[in-house]
């Protein structure tokens, strides 16, 4: 996820200071991984340097002064372009799991054990996501569904590979 563009898009609703942006980001997108304050302020500094935001005043309070930022026309154009650009589908043509299976076969170790332990790990995470999804709000449900669909595809690959393991073993030993 592009943190800079996400913060930039959050500024489209109106001027905000870093603390408010972090809170909004964490509420909508953090999913258990809150954004560090340092990342928020370094990102705002880059956006300011690149002309995508400007300072819109300072709020005084009990603590340090809080700079408010607002999005510029260039920032709005950047967000609009980013939202209109599809994410690149990532075909996993070479991944670590495939590499482990092949190396297990080449070394005489059990590729079945590699697949079985990976299957168990996937199923554990899927159970956790399903539990989280059941008790979650709509955002949690959608995010968990996305992750579950990817894990289900991985499981299908694990099953297919297990079914073709003898043929793969023969191919890699040639």
Do residue 68 and residue 102 come from a single domain?
Answer: no
Number of separate domains in the chain = 2
Question: What residues make up the domain containing 119?
Answer: 96-173
pLDDT of residue 1: 64
In a domain, 152, yes or no: yes
The last residue of a domain, from among 25, 55, 84: 84
pLDDT in tens, 98-152: 889 998 998 888 999 999 999 999 999 999 999 999 988 898 899 999 999 999 9
- Where do we find the tokens 């979650």? 136
Question: Domain of 37: which CATH number?
Answer: 1.10.10.10
The verdict on pTM exceeding 0.75 is: no
Do residue 109 and residue 66 come from a single domain?
Answer: no
CA dist., res. 100 & res. 96, Å (int): 6
pLDDT of residue 15: 94
Once rounded to an integer, what is the mean pLDDT over residues 1-13?
A: 90
Do residue 11 and residue 48 come from a single domain?
Answer: yes
pLDDT of residue 94: 57
Do residue 53 and residue 103 come from a single domain?
Answer: no
The runs of H, that is alpha helices, within the chain are: 3-10, 18-25, 37-49, 73-84, 96-107, 111-135, 138-163, 165-173
**Poorest-pLDDT segment among 52-56, 64-68, 93-97, 164-168:** 93-97
CA dist., res. 103 & res. 129, Å (int): 30
In a domain, 66, yes or no: yes
Q: Is 87 helix (H, G, I), strand (E, B) or coil?
A: coil
Once rounded to an integer, what is the mean pLDDT over residues 72-83?
A: 94
């Amino acid at each position: 996820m592009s943190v800079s563009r996400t913060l930039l898009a959050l500024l489209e609703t109106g001027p905000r200071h870093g603390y408010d942006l972090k809170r909004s980001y964490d509420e909508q997108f953090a999913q258990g991984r809150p954004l560090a304050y340092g990342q928020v302020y370094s990102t705002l500094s880059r956006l300011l340097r690149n002309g995508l935001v400007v300072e819109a005043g300072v709020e005084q309070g009990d603590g340090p002064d809080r700079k408010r930022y607002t999005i510029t026309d260039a920032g709005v154009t950047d967000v609009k372009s980013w939202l209109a650009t599809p994410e690149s589908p990532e075909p996993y043509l070479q991944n670590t799991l495939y590499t482990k299976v092949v190396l297990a076969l080449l070394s005489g170790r059990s590729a079945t054990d590699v697949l079985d332990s990976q299957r168990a790990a996937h199923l554990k995470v899927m159970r956790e996501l399903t539990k989280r999804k059941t008790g979650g709000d709509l955002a949690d449900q959608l995010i968990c569904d996305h992750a579950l669909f990817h894990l289900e595809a991985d499981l299908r690959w694990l099953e297919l590979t297990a079914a073709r393991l003898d043929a793969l073993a023969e191919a890699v030993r040639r």
